[in-house]
């Protein structure tokens, strides 16, 4: 369903109409080799398709369940050697961040 049918208006900074749909533009942006997309591929190439916490191995069909965790919590700290990254499955990644939230709560932050 087009966004305008859902009552959402998209304001364009260009004059005139584009022949491309929003979904096509989003697909192109996802394919772009930006640093946000690049560090995940680099981390998988360096550390492999395995969760650093639970040891579960992934294949190319299930690699979407493997995420990159920034050890220092800074998502802008992406050294090329991968020293700030560890690959975690979605379950271990959630567990890691929930522990941080619990610790902050218990310290009164």
Write out 35-55 in H/E/C secondary structure.
HHHHHHHHHHHHHCCECCCCC
The tens digit of pLDDT for each residue in 9-64 reads: 555 555 555 678 888 877 776 665 555 557 889 999 999 999 999 999 999 999 99
CB atoms within 10 A of CB 77: 13
The residue ranking higher by pLDDT, 15 or 67, is: 67
User: How many angstroms separate the CA atoms of 50 and 34, rounded?
Assistant: 24
For range 76-94, the mean pLDDT = 93
> What confidence score (pLDDT) does residue 31 get?
65
Residue 6 pLDDT > 60: no
The residue ranking higher by pLDDT, 101 or 44, is: 44
CA dihedral 8, 11, 12, 13 (to 10 degrees): -160
Residue 85 pLDDT > 90: yes
pTM: 0.60
Report yes or no: 87 and 54 within 8 Å, Cβ to Cβ.
Answer: no
Which residues, in sequence order, are CB contacts of 73 under 8 Å at separation 6+?
100
């Amino acid at each position: 369903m087009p966004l305008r049918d859902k009552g959402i208006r998209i304001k364009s900074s260009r004059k005139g109409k584009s022949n491309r749909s929003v979904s096509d533009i989003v697909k192109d942006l996802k394919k772009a080799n930006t640093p946000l997309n690049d560090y995940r591929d680099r981390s998988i190439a360096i550390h492999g398709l395995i969760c650093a916490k639970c040891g579960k191995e992934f294949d190319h069909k299930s690699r979407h369940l493997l995420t990159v965790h920034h050890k220092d919590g800074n998502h802008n700290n992406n050294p090329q050697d991968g020293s700030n990254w560890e690959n975690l499955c979605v379950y271990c990644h959630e567990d890691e961040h929930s522990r941080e939230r619990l610790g902050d709560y218990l310290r009164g932050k």
